[in-house]
Amino acid sequence: MAVGIFDSGLGGLTVLDAVARRLPQMAFVYYGDNARAPYGVRDAEDIFQLTTAGVERLWDAGCDLVILACNTAAAAALRRMQETWVPENKRVLGVFVPLIEALTERRWGDNSPPREVAVKHVALFATPTTVATRAFQRELAFRAIGVDVEAQPCGGVVDAIEDGDEILAEALVRSHVDALKRRMPHPEAAILGCTHYPLMETTFQQALGPDVKVYSQANLVAESLADYLERRPEMAGIGKDSMFLTTGDPAKVSEKATQFLRRKITFQAA
């Protein structure tokens, strides 16, 4: 049994790490489209074509269920994929909904009408494309009312992380937080709307201050996946072995991934 995890690059490894710890008996196939990362500056059609190609490769590896661990892909392509492209015997899920369910304190599958929630002022940090789609605001509106969301497109952060330039990434995070706080001086919660950003969570928290609750995706997605598979065990897929696939240079990607997770990761060509 194997579950697929798709990302434009290395950020989805934060999700993989969390779900592997939560579901140690499960095999996972990770697909990183490193040759074409980052997705955050591409248009929606381009993202749709790249994402569907990656998902098809994961289906070929025996993964009937694929998690889009790329917020940009989930924001720009997931709804179209689910409505027009995914066959009935497969599932493709995104990473926004578990985050919003945690923010609004709703259980998975709670389809009751939107209601007032405790948090009223939310800062969203995401890639420029994710911000432009307004997918987070749309999903939030299904579940909550009266929430003010201020979104900050965080240009350059993913590139700096992928390049291993931690000093530049930290500087960019602080700059983006400062820019958002000029528009929303006192956010109550902050959403890290990119799976790369948990690697900078400490920097986000320091820049935002101790009174802002920072929501990061990896652990929330892991719990949501465990719940989903408990209810839908048939979606676990037929794959048996864990694999790491990349469209980039396997040796270079393996080296960066090993630095990311601080354990040996070996990619092979997708």
Question: Which amino acids are annotated catalytic?
Answer: 70, 194
DSSP secondary structure letters along 30-71: EEE-GGG---TTS-HHHHHHHHHHHHHHHHHTT-SEEEE--H
Residue located via tokens 């569907």: 52
Measured CA to CA, the distance from residue 45 to residue 54 in angstroms comes to 14
Q: Give the closest residue to 55 by CA, choosing from 115, 6, 19.
A: 6
The β-bridge partners of 246 are 32, 269
Q: Supply the DSSP symbol for 114.
A: P
In the chain the first and final C-alpha atoms are separated, in Å, by 20
Cα dihedral sign for 116, 120, 123, 129? Answer: positive
